[in-house]
A and B are shown apart, each in its own frame.
Chain A
Amino acid sequence: MSDEPVPVRPVWRHDFPYEAAAEDEVTRREFTRYLVLGAGAMAAGNVGIAVWTQLRSINTGEPRPIVALADVPVGETYLFRYPSDDDPAILLRLGDRDVVAFSQKCTHLGCVVFYESELERWHCPCHEGNFETRSGRVISGPPPRPLGRIEVEPRDDGQIWALGRTV
């Protein structure tokens, strides 16, 4: 007679004594091997993302005139597209020659932000995100980072020029 322990079967096995054809085919080691392969694939993906982040070129835009300074009253905004036609942007004239401009895409989920003059802040109505007027920094709400800033300056030709965008 053998001394090997007899495997204990669970009670439900006695009540429902069926056997599935493939139920014993995946061992713990095989299952873990698939997990490790998955982890390796994700590590490779992470390295790929890092390489892509390093090598890609971002369109920060070329300097170009946006609008005549005289066409934007103090305290008013002007909508334009920069650096490409797919990038909505908004300009605010704060003083005589004091202008700021930002990407109009909220950094939360890409909704359009607008200026609330009475509260002096950029506001995203989708999820109540708010940004500081001059810096575009997040004041409140879910946005994780500041608005994309567009460097602008009024020049002697009477135009407001966009000089480039920071990510």
Chain B
Amino acid sequence: MNVVQRGRRTSSALAVYVIILVAFQVFLITVAVEAFVTDEEGLAWATAAVSVVVAAGAALFLRWLRP
């Protein structure tokens, strides 16, 4: 595998990671709504914190992605 192909594969893998993180965000939204309905403030804040970390991770992956 040459350098160009390897770079393209790595780039694709990073894109897949970001897709997985976005899917996880959708799950976190459902958890947040459930916390809202049951009035569990602790769960709502924990979900928000995880969600922000996941979004930051996705942004980090974007930095590594080839132009």
Contact = CB atoms under 8 A, between A and B. Distances in A.
A42 B25 contact: yes
- Interface size on B, as a range, is 35 or more
A48 to B, nearest CB: 8
A39 B33 contact: no
Contacts, number: 98
Contacts of A36: 18, 55, 58-59, 61-62
- Interface residue SS majority, chain B: helix
Interface of B: 4, 11-12, 14-15, 18-19, 21-22, 25-26, 28-29, 32-36, 38-41, 44-45, 47-48, 51-52, 54-55, 58-59, 61-62, 65-67
Interface of A: 5, 27-29, 31-33, 35-36, 38-40, 42-43, 45-47, 49-50, 52-54, 58, 144-145, 167
